[in-house]
């Protein structure tokens, strides 16, 4: 298929349809309104259904019902709306219902602002809901990436029978870029028929979608089975990319989403000046690519983590490299994007040995 110039929001919607998703339940919130708006127009055209839910609480529970009945379904929202889905998310994971949830992150906390941010990293990766559960968290850095990853998201959800999150800063939804929606692609995981779904028990025993297990031994078994599943995701689903890491470098930058692109621009600019800096980009934020990052960090003298938050992923970066080398943090907040110049300045200062202006050793005390 030819490349189209599309808004990220629309590309996400179109890619979901190409991945055979025919259902969307959602509630408006800036800066992702173009996703439900697009779905409200497109889904009826392809025989699908769009429902504007009364709230994000309701939307996430509609997902729960639809996913439980075997449908491919997704919703999207932005930070405050995602917080309202935390109970349902825990239920989805507990009852093993595959759905896809997109968070187009805006600045917080609270009502905050509507400009891009990445401050929901903790919520997404550490579990904003209650109980022992995990979700694969995908982080696109371009419109094409968003379209590709959401298609995989449906497959991953179905394969593991677990909710999958895709989180992007607001730019991912708002910008237009050339994108190719890969029609007729193969699923990224082998998929079994959904014989567990609630579709009417004609000729079989009732199927039950449920997370209540009153017997503690049974619940413990369930918890351990889930844990084993999450362990297998940690083993099999780690995704990442690195740039300019073939040669030598003193600094390794770690960043995801749009800031990673900004960092890449900085890396290229520095390269032109003869300074080699590596870039490491986690694509799955959970499972986090601890081992690959550590490996890539071996050549460096310091890691610089760049985020649109006051420092969240930096904790995982620190965990990954442990005490092998110092981990610095540079972040912008409030909806402000980092610029290539800022990144260049940070790197230059680090190379000069100085603690760069505005940077701090993020994370733990």
Partner 1 sequence: MQNEMILAGFGGQGVLLIGKMLAYAGMKEGKEVSWLPSYGPEMRGGTCNCTVVVSDKPVGSPVVKSPNIMIALNRPSLDKFEPSVRPEGILLINSSLIDRKAERKDVDVLYVRANEVAIECGSPKAANMVALGALVGKTGMVGVESVKAAIAKTFEGKEKIIQLNYKALERGVAIGKGEAQ
Partner 2 sequence: MSELTVFKRPEALLPVTMHYCPGCTHGISHRLVAEALDELGLRERTVGVAPVGCSVLAYDYFNCDFHEASHGRAPAVATGIKRARPDLIVFTYQGDGDLASIGMAEIVHAANRGEKITVIFVNNAIYGMTGGQMAPTTMPGQVATTCPLGRDTNLAGFPIRMAELLSALVTPAFIARGSLHSPLEVVKTKALIKRAFQYQREGTCFSLVECLSTCPTNWGITPTDSLKWLEENMLPYYPLGIKKTPEGKEA
Ligand X SMILES: Cc1ncc(C[n+]2csc(CCOP(=O)(O)OP(=O)(O)O)c2C)c(N)n1
x/- contact string, 87-106, with partner 2 (CB under 8 A)? xx--x---x-----------
User: What's the rounded Cα separation, in Å, for the pair 90 and 102?
Assistant: 16
Q: Among residue numbers 84 through 143, which ones bind partner 1 (CB under 8 A)?
A: 114-115
**Which residue has tokens 């940077």?**
359
Among residues 41, 220, 339, 357, which is the contact residue for a second copy, using CB under 8 A?
220
Is residue 50 a contact point for partner 2 (CB under 8 A)?
yes
Is residue 109 a contact point for partner 2 (CB under 8 A)?
no
Q: Which stretch binds partner 2 (CB under 8 A): 51-59, 143-151, 174-182, 224-232?
A: 51-59
Sheet holding 240-243, edge to edge: 240-243, 277-282, 251-254, 302-307, 327-331
Exposure of 322 in the CB half-sphere (CA atoms within 13 A): 6
Is residue 363 a contact point for ligand X (CB under 6 A)?
no
Cis peptide before 31 (omega within 30 of 0): yes
Q: Would you say 154 and 235 are in contact if contact means Cβ atoms under 8 Å apart?
A: no
Query: Is 206 or 352 the residue whose CB approaches partner 2 more closely?
Result: 206
CA-closest candidate to residue 341, choices 258, 255, 269: 269
Is residue 334 a contact point for a second copy (CB under 8 A)?
yes
CA dihedral (67, 40, 104, 25) positive or negative: negative
Q: Among residue numbers 23 through 62, which ones bind ligand X (CB under 6 A)?
A: 27-29, 56
Q: How far is the CB of 140 from partner 1 (least distance, A)?
A: 13
x/- contact string, 65-104, with ligand X (CB under 6 A)? ---------------xx--x--------------------
How large is the C-alpha radius of gyration of the chain?
A: 21
Q: How far is the CB of 51 from partner 2 (least distance, A)?
A: 6
User: What's the rounded Cα separation, in Å, for the pair 292 and 139?
Assistant: 17
User: What's the rounded Cα separation, in Å, for the pair 159 and 153?
Assistant: 10
3-class DSSP assignment, residue 267: helix
Buried b (16+ CB within 10 A) or exposed e, 97-111: bbbbbbbbbbbbeee
Q: How far is the CB of 7 from partner 2 (least distance, A)?
A: 14
**Which residue has tokens 């940690």?**
234
Is residue 341 a contact point for a second copy (CB under 8 A)?
no
Among residues 207, 265, 268, 348, which is the contact residue for partner 2, using CB under 8 A?
207
DSSP 116-146: B--TTHHIIIIISSSSS---EEE--SSHHHH
Query: Is 148 or 307 the residue whose CB approaches a second copy more closely?
Result: 307
Among residues 6, 63, 238, 317, which is the contact residue for partner 2, using CB under 8 A?
63
Is residue 337 a contact point for partner 1 (CB under 8 A)?
yes
Q: How far is the CB of 174 from partner 1 (least distance, A)?
A: 6
Q: Would you say 168 and 106 are in contact if contact means Cβ atoms under 8 Å apart?
A: no
Buried b (16+ CB within 10 A) or exposed e, 335-361: bebbebebbbbbbbbbbeeeebeebee
User: What's the rounded Cα separation, in Å, for the pair 285 and 263?
Assistant: 18
The binder of 49, among a second copy, ligand X, partner 2, none, by C-beta within 5 to 8 A per type, is partner 2
3-class DSSP assignment, residue 192: coil
Is residue 64 a contact point for partner 2 (CB under 8 A)?
yes
**Which residue has tokens 């497959």?**
155
Q: How far is the CB of 323 from partner 2 (least distance, A)?
A: 41
Query: Is 80 or 292 the residue whose CB approaches ligand X more closely?
Result: 80
Is residue 306 a contact point for partner 2 (CB under 8 A)?
no
Is residue 94 a contact point for a second copy (CB under 8 A)?
yes
Where on the chain is the footprint of partner 2 (CB under 8 A)? 23, 25, 27-30, 33, 36-37, 40-41, 44, 49-59, 61-71, 73, 80, 87-88, 91, 95, 110-111, 198-203, 206-212
Where on the chain is the footprint of partner 1 (CB under 8 A)? 3, 5, 30-31, 114-115, 171, 174-178, 214, 258, 261-262, 264-266, 268, 337, 339-341
């Amino acid at each position: 298929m030819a490349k189209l110039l599309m808004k990220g929001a629309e590309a996400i919607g179109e890619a979901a349809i190409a991945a055979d998703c025919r259902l969307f339940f959602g509630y408006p919130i800036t800066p992702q309104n173009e996703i439900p708006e697009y779905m409200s127009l497109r889904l009826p055209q392809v025989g699908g259904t769009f429902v504007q839910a009364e709230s994000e609480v309701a939307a996430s529970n509609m997902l729960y019902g639809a996913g439980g009945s075997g449908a491919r379904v997704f919703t999207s929202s932005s930070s405050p709306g995602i917080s309202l889905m935390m109970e349902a998310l825990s239920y989805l994971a507990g009852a093993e219902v595959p759905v896809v949830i997109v968070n187009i992150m805006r600045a917080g906390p609270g009502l905050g602002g509507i400009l891009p941010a990445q401050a929901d990293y903790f919520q997404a990766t550490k579990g904003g809901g209650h109980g022992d559960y995990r979700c694969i968290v995908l982080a696109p850095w371009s419109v094409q990436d968003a379209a590709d990853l959401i298609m995989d998201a449906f497959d991953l959800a179905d394969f593991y029978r677990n909710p999958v999150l895709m989180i992007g800063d607001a730019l991912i939804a708002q910008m237009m870029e050339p994108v190719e929606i890969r029609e007729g692609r193969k699923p990224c995981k082998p998929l079994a028929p959904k014989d567990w779904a609630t579709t009417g028990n004609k000729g079989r025993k009732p199927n039950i979608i449920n997370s209540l297990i009153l017997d503690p031994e049974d619940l413990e078994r369930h918890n351990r089975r889930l844990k084993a599943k999450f362990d297998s995701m940690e083993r099999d689903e780690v995704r990442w990319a690195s740039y300019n890491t073939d040669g030598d470098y003193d600094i390794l930058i770690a960043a995801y989403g749009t800031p990673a692109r900004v960092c890449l621009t900085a890396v290229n600019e520095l390269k032109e000046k003869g300074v080699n800096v590596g870039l490491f980009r986690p694509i799955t934020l959970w499972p986090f690519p601890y081992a690959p990052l550590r490996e890539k960090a071996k050549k460096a003298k310091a890691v610089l983590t760049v985020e649109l938050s006051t420092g969240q992923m930096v904790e995982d970066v620190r965990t990954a490299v442990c005490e092998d080398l110092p981990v610095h943090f540079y972040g912008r907040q409030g909806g402000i994007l980092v610029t290539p110049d800022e990144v260049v300045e940070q790197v230059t200062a680090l190379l000069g040995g100085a603690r760069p202006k505005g940077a701090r050793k993020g994370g733990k005390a």
